[in-house]
Each structure stands twice: as structure tokens, then as C-alpha cells.
Amino acid sequence: MKPPALLIRPSTPADLPAITAIYAHAVLHGTGTFETEPPDAAEMARRQADVQDKGLPWLVAQSGAPGAEDQILGYAYANHFRPRKAYRFCLEDSIYLNPDAQGQGVGRLLLTELLGRCEALGARQMLAVIGDAANTGSIKVHAGQGFVHCGVLKSSGWKFDRWLDVVLMQRALGAGDSLPAQG
């Protein structure tokens, strides 16, 4: 399916109502996140500021279809995989879409832009920590961008009265581990 006309851009505080609604839907109806209670707008603003204050990208996909009112169709961001200094070149991505935008290529476009921005920042590895081994959409989007399967954390989450796995995928950025890191 052809993706809608989109603008991928850095997120602003004005995007937070849409971001909060998209994530709330994912929490309440999906298994891509293991949160069970949707965070409020203030918490989402704190999370966005935390990522952006680190100089890391938080992007939105905004519709730009002719005759349509601009709408946030999804968002993506990268954060440090872990806080310890040795992990400073390794990031983890997160992508969430408006349910109406799923299956239209929006996630792929967001991930492509996110990878490019993270590589430009000097990151060397991107990890995908995908909730639910049945989350084939996310797995396919990541595989299509060169991520490889690294493992499965079996039955590591309990949501919707069932055990859920976590799928781990990884992709090198830039020189990856072929050259020493600087900094």
C-alpha cells in the first residue's frame, strides 16, 4: 500500500496531545508496549523532553494529504539502551502509530529517518526491543531496514491475561563495530 503524503519532522510540545492519544491506544489495546496504564500528557511531555534534552531525535509523521487536515499519524524516537557510559553508542528505537495509519508505510518512513539521524549523531548500534513475538508488523518493518534477529526473551511480560515474549533485533549504524569509537 502506498504511504500517504507525509512530513517527517522533529516533534514539538504542540504534538503532545496526539502523541499521548496514540500511545494511550497502544497501551490499552496493543502488546507492543508492556505498560498497562496510559501515562498522562505531563508524563509524555517529561519523556519527550528527556529524549530531546539528550540531543536525541523524537520525530513525528504528519499527514500532508491534499484536502486533509494535518494529523499526526505516528511518532518515533531513540533513547540510550542503558544509562551506563559504555552503552553511549547504542540506542533503542520506539515507534508508535495511529491505528488508522498502520500498514501504510508510515512506520518504515519514520524508522528510516530515525536511523539516519542517529547515525549522523555518531551512534553505532540500534536495538529494537519489540513487545510480543506476534507483533509481525514491527518485526517486518525492522527486518526491512536491515535489523537482524538477536533473540527472544520468553514470557517476560504479562498483559491481557497472557504471557508475552520480547523480540530483540539489532542493526549497525555507520561504521558499527568495525572501527574504534571516539568519545
Domains of the chain and CATH, by start? 6-172 (3.40.630.30)
Helical spans, DSSP H, in the chain? 16-29, 41-53, 106-120, 136-144
Task: Say if residue 99's pLDDT is above 50.
Answer: yes
CA dist., res. 45 & res. 39, Å (int): 10
Note the pLDDT of residue 79: 98
- Nearest alpha-carbon partner for 23 in 105, 180, 164, 131: 131
| Angstrom distances, CA of residue 169 to CA of 73, 121, 128, 131 | 24, 21, 5, 11
C-beta separation of 36 from 46 below 8 A: no
Beta bridge partners of 58: 77
In one letter, which amino acid is 117?
Answer: R
String of DSSP letters for 142-181? HHHTT-EEEEEEEEEEEETTEEEEEEEEEEE-TTTTSS--
1: pLDDT strictly greater than 60: no
Residue 182: its pLDDT value, please?
84
Which range (42-46, 70-74, 93-97, 170-174) has the least confidence?
A: 70-74
The DSSP bridge pattern shows strands 90-97 and 125-131 to be parallel
pLDDT tens column, 100-154: 999 999 999 999 999 999 999 999 999 999 999 999 999 999 999 999 999 999 9
